[in-house]
Amino acid sequence: MSLNTRDEAKDEVAIQDDDVINKILDSEGDNLSGALNNRTVGFLGGAVAAILKRDGEPGRRNGAEKINGADLSLTGTITAVSTAVTGSGTLFLTELFIGAWIAGTAGQLREVQAIADNLNLTLTAAFSADFAGQAGVRMQTTAERIALLESTAEQNLVVNGNMDFFMEGDKTSIADAAYAATLVKYTKVGAMIQDAVESTDVPTQLQSGYSSVNSLFTSVTTIDASIAAGDKATWSWFIEGYDIQKIFQKNFWFSFWIRAVKTGIYCVSFRNAAKTRSFVHEITVNTTDVWEFKEFTVLFDEGSGVWEFESLVGLDVTFAQAAGTTFHTPADAWQTGDFVATANQVNGVDNTANDLKIAQVQIVEGSLTIPFRRGKLADELARVHRLFEKSYSIGVDPGTVTDVGMAGDVDTGNVTPTVKAMVYFVRKRTVPTFTAYSNVTGASGVVRDIAAPADDAQALTGLGERSVDCGSGGSLNISFQWTADARF
């Protein structure tokens, strides 16, 4: 799509309001929020404004390339060290502009922040590895950039990939099949014992282009020095079936940041719910205990196997910290069976010094490298609540003794009082496991009999995806905290 004139823009946006279009084309897009909202323009109106504010109509700015022009092979070669790029025989001033995207190692794209002269520029974030004398670097067009931002700003398929929510707190000696960072499932077979806690050690803004607050920090407290064939220690994210519909039999792009003390090859796998189809990719931690960016493209299964497209697990995304030979398979091809690693997988649990942190986990449709994105925090919280919700405040762990947020009922007429139709904030993926907690003792599976005073076993009726009735066997006046767990 090329929008070079007022008429073309008007036709494409399908708005017959000259005032709105004129404001967009006259670089007044910043003042259009009310008008655009009322005319259902959505993202495209903002995109047109952004494009035309940069390139202008023909004649407004000499030499402005077409908005949707092809990628350009830049003159000369470039060398990148951190965010500094130097050129040899390059023409940065005429071939690039602030906001343009250039390609580096492994097809990665980085945004131009400043251009000093034809031979020197600065990027908003560094490539994952420095390089020298690279030829054939191309410029990402504005239209492609807009398409990428539109597709990823609120469509990272990994829920809580930014590790914003640790709704159950830290997990010391985390159990097999337990969750860390709310939605990251730990699976272990073997002697290893690990902790999984919230960390504020994250990639810097300069590194990743995003100011995250938290990472998932795993440490080894008891080692497994010799991984048996059936042993493993893995961390999994689950994509709901509804959400994989848009990427099935297409390319998707996976990226994350990792900081590991133990260097070497780790593996990321993608499996169906039945674990009968698996794709394993190797990533290499090159330097001990520094943040490194990892990214790659996967062509989603070409039709074999059974995949879920509704509320069950659509895609199981698993990072292997250790895995025995039972779970080994060759890399970079879909295989029939349950596999999470290759024969090159390191044993990441063979030393208590093997700290590991993961941040900014992302899956998006397509195969182009882009910086990490997540939607608005309130929207991300709603996605989390579809899978796990609690009455406690966000930063308060279930089982904490507190009255803040508790539910309750005072009833002098019923034999078995209940809190009727207690409605969840968000409809759950499936009927959840509901657990009441005493607000006085913190015990689980009980409500508090206010009059006794003592804890009494919870009694549930009408448990559904949207609400539940919770009471007790006979207490008239009750109070309690609660969780509703619809995780996979």
**Whole-number pLDDT of residue 48:** 40
Interval 120-148: pLDDT, tens: 999 998 888 889 988 756 655 555 555 55
SS3 category, 433: strand
For the chain, domains (ranges, CATH) are 6-55 (no CATH), 72-140 (2.40.30), 179-385 (2.60.120.430), 389-485 (no CATH)
Torsion sign (Cα): 443, 448, 453, 454: negative
Interval 154-196: pLDDT, tens: 589 999 999 999 999 999 999 999 999 999 999 999 999 999 9
Query: Rounded to whole angstroms, how far apart are CA atoms 421 and 463?
Result: 9
* Residues near 267 by beta carbon (within 8 Å), at least 6 away in sequence: 280, 281, 282, 283, 319, 320, 323, 331, 340, 341, 342, 344, 345
**Whole-number pLDDT of residue 55:** 38
Query: Rounded to whole angstroms, how far apart are CA atoms 58 and 81?
Result: 37
* Residues near 411 by beta carbon (within 8 Å), at least 6 away in sequence: 417, 476, 477
Query: Rounded to whole angstroms, how far apart are CA atoms 272 and 437?
Result: 35
Partner residues linked to 452 by β-bridges:
none
**Whole-number pLDDT of residue 106:** 61
SS3 category, 37: helix
**Whole-number pLDDT of residue 301:** 80
**Going residue by residue through the chain (488 aa), what tens digit of pLDDT does each one get?**
333 333 443 344 333 344 433 433 333 333 333 333 333 333 344 444 443 333 333 322 222 232 233 457 788 899 999 999 999 999 888 888 888 888 876 667 788 899 999 999 999 988 888 899 887 566 555 555 555 555 555 589 999 999 999 999 999 999 999 999 999 999 999 999 999 999 999 999 989 989 999 999 999 999 999 999 999 999 999 999 999 999 999 999 999 999 999 999 999 999 999 999 999 999 999 999 999 999 999 999 877 789 999 999 999 999 999 999 999 999 999 999 999 999 999 999 999 999 999 999 999 988 777 778 888 999 999 999 999 999 999 999 999 999 999 998 766 555 555 676 689 999 999 999 999 999 999 999 999 999 889 999 999 999 999 999 998 877 678 999 999 999 99
Contact 233, 349 (CB under 8 A): yes
**Whole-number pLDDT of residue 148:** 56
Interval 240-293: pLDDT, tens: 999 999 999 999 999 999 999 999 999 999 999 999 999 999 999 999 999 999
